Homo-oligomer: A and B are copies of this chain.
Amino acid sequence: MEPEEFRKYGHEVVDWIADYLADPAKHPVLSRVQPGDIARRLPPLPPATSEPMSRILEDFEKIILPGITHWNHPGFMAYFSITGSAPGILGEMLSAALNVNGMLWRTSPAATELEEVVLDWLRTMLGLPDSFKGVITDTASVSSLVAIAAAREHLHRNIRERGMSGRSDLPPLRLYCSEHAHSSIEKGAITLGIGHEGVRKIASDESFCMRADLLAATIVEDRKQGFLPFCVVATVGTTSTTSIDPVPAIAEICRHENLWLHVDGAYGGVSGLVPELRHHLDGCAESHSLVVNPHKWLFTPIDCSVLYTRRTDILRQAFSLVPEYLKTADANVTNYMDWGVQLGRRFRSLKLWFVIRSFGVDGLAANIREHCRLANMFASWVKADPAYELLAPVPFSVACFRFHPAGVNDEQELERLNSRILDTVNASGKVFLSHTKLNGRYTLRVAIGNLATTEEHVRSAWEQVRSAAKQ
Complexed CA–CA distance, A56 and B105 (Å)? 23
A125 CB-CB contact with B under 8 Å = yes
Instruction: Mark interface residues in A175-190 (1 if CB within 8 Å of B CB, else 0).
Output: 0000000111011101
Point out the residue from B4, B47, B90, B98 that lies within 8 Å of A356, measured CB to CB.
Answer: B47
Q: Is A39 interfacial (CB 8 A cutoff)? A: yes
Contact assessment for A35 and B84 in the assembled complex, using a CB-CB cutoff below 8 Å: no
Across the interface, do A356 and B46 meet the contact criterion of CB distance under 8 Å?
Answer: yes
Tell which of A66-74, A256-264, A277-285 binds the partner. Answer: A66-74
Whether the pair B56, A71 counts as a contact (CB closer than 8 A) is: no
How many copies, total? 2
A131 CB within 8 Å of chain B: no
Q: Which of A5-13, A210-218, A375-383 contacts B (4 or more CB under 8 A)?
A: A5-13
- Residue in B16, B68, B165, B341 whose CB lies within 8 Å of A172: B165
Decide: A302 near B344, CB < 8 A? Known: A45-B124, A93-B13.
yes
Query: Across the interface, which residues of B come within 8 angstroms of A191, CB to CB?
Result: 145, 149, 191-192, 319, 341
When C-beta atoms are compared, the residue in chain B nearest to A146 turns out to be B191
Within 8 A of B (CB), among A29-86: 30-31, 33, 35-39, 42, 44-51, 53, 56-57, 60, 63-72, 79, 82-86
How many residues of A are in contact with the other chain, CB < 8 A?
A: 167
Report whether A68 and B100 are in contact in the complex, using a CB–CB cutoff of 8 Å. Answer: yes
Question: What are the 7 tightest A-B residue pairs by CB atom distance, in nearest-first order?
Answer: A163-B195, A67-B110, A193-B193, A84-B99, A10-B14, A166-B172, A7-B18
For residue A410, CB closer than 8 A to chain B, the reply is no
One of B53, B125, B323 near A183 (C-beta < 8 A): B323
Q: When the two chains form their complex, are residues A3 and B86 in contact, meaning their CB atoms are under 8 A apart?
A: yes
A107 contacts B by Cβ under 8 Å: yes
Across the interface, do A192 and B195 meet the contact criterion of CB distance under 8 Å? no
Q: Of the candidates B113, B121, B124, B323, which one forms a contact with A67 in the assembled complex, judged by CB atoms under 8 Å apart?
A: B113
**A395 at interface by CB-CB < 8 Å:** no
Q: B190–A160 contact, CB under 8 A?
A: yes
Q: In the bound complex, how far is the Cα of B353 from the Cα of A173, in angstroms?
A: 44
B3, B47, B48: the one within 8 Å of A21 (CB): B3
Q: Which of A42, A92, A114, A191 has the most CB of B within 10 A?
A: A191
> Is the Cβ of B89 less than 8 Å from the Cβ of A6?
yes
CA distance A437 to B325 in the complex (A): 7
Tell me whether A86 and B187 are in contact (CB under 8 A).
Answer: no
- Closest beta carbon of chain B to A125's beta carbon, Å: 6
